Structure 1
Amino acid sequence: MRPFGKSMLLGGRTPKPGILTTLDPAILNAETALSFYNLRLSKVSGASVRSAFATRDATLVPTFAYWEVMNISGGAGVGLGFVDATRNPNAGLGDGLMSSTWSAAGAVAMMAVRQDLKKWWVGANGVWNTAGDPVTGSGGLAYGPSNIYPIVVVTNPGDTIEVNFGHFPFTYTPPAGSSAWG
């Protein structure tokens, strides 16, 4: 495993040029804050679950795309998944990963999407949690619309997560044939 955790926590990095997706500051709740090139989301106040959405949907990225999210704070109130074009978190397509496997500081969640199959896979720390394999297309979670957006969630003040749509080297090897979400 590469030292993604240490590099994420220490900062001092510059994203690769050409990676366009970030978290969208235009639709951010006042209880949250973005930092580090709009890739890091922190819950700063309040008791409600708050979300941030990616700036680019699945129609603008590779057909077989991969991205990662790191739990910086170690808070158990973090999550991730996809939403449809309404970007309504209550219309989410599930998170598949709000478990103890991702609640430790430095834990890394992995996401893969196959638009050709209308499926997505989620895992943590190098292990796919959604039974199956994104390379072969087995298992996974089905979705309907083609214009899905990645979503990340923070619940408790102090919860902090950081997304990597390919801005930096990935912690885990992306599935064969996939490309960064970009």
Structure 2
Amino acid sequence: MRFILISPGINFPGGPLDYSPGSDRWRWTESAIDGARAANIPWTVVGMHTPCFSMGHYGCQAGEQLTNMLVGKDVDLVLTGHEHVYQRTRQLGLTASCPVLVPGEAREQCVADADNSLVQGHGTVFVTIGVGGVGHHDVQADDPEAGLFAVWSGNNHDPALGTLDVMLTASRLDARFVPAAGFTFTDAFAIER
């Protein structure tokens, strides 16, 4: 697995880092993804603090263009925090009928697969695991992006503390939400090669 950590959408003391198309950080991110593919590394996972899609409090802080680049390069899994909820998208993919994902919209043609058994190369799954301890945010079931999501947990919907356990083999990625003691929310999905 290649695990790539990036920092878009964070207001550092010197200002946010530049992840715009063609910037050094954009090119570095592209190179890290392309290098994993060239080296036949079976899984590519990107971690970043801020999500782009959310049913919670924040908008697309990670950046629309960067998010579309990750999906366009078929990154398998994007892990985020920041938003104090748990939320997992369906597998999202770019096609002729969905050339770009647009924050604030949930176009069905951008959903490559909607169940919990996914196939690698069809799209990207975004998981926000922001339920480690600080107070939860509400999730908005009527959020314009709600159609992109398979499951969610927040202050007003099945609240839970917990972590995401990700297990990898050469042919399969399995992920499951592990709730802390006393919580009942669960989620699990798999991506097969």
Q: Which has the larger radius of gyration?
A: 2
Name the structure where strand makes up a greater proportion of residues.
Answer: 1
TM-score, normalised by the number of residues in structure 1: 0.31
TM-score, normalised by the number of residues in structure 2: 0.30
Name the structure where helix makes up a greater proportion of residues.
Answer: 2
Higher RCO (C-alpha under 8 Å, 6+ residues apart):
1
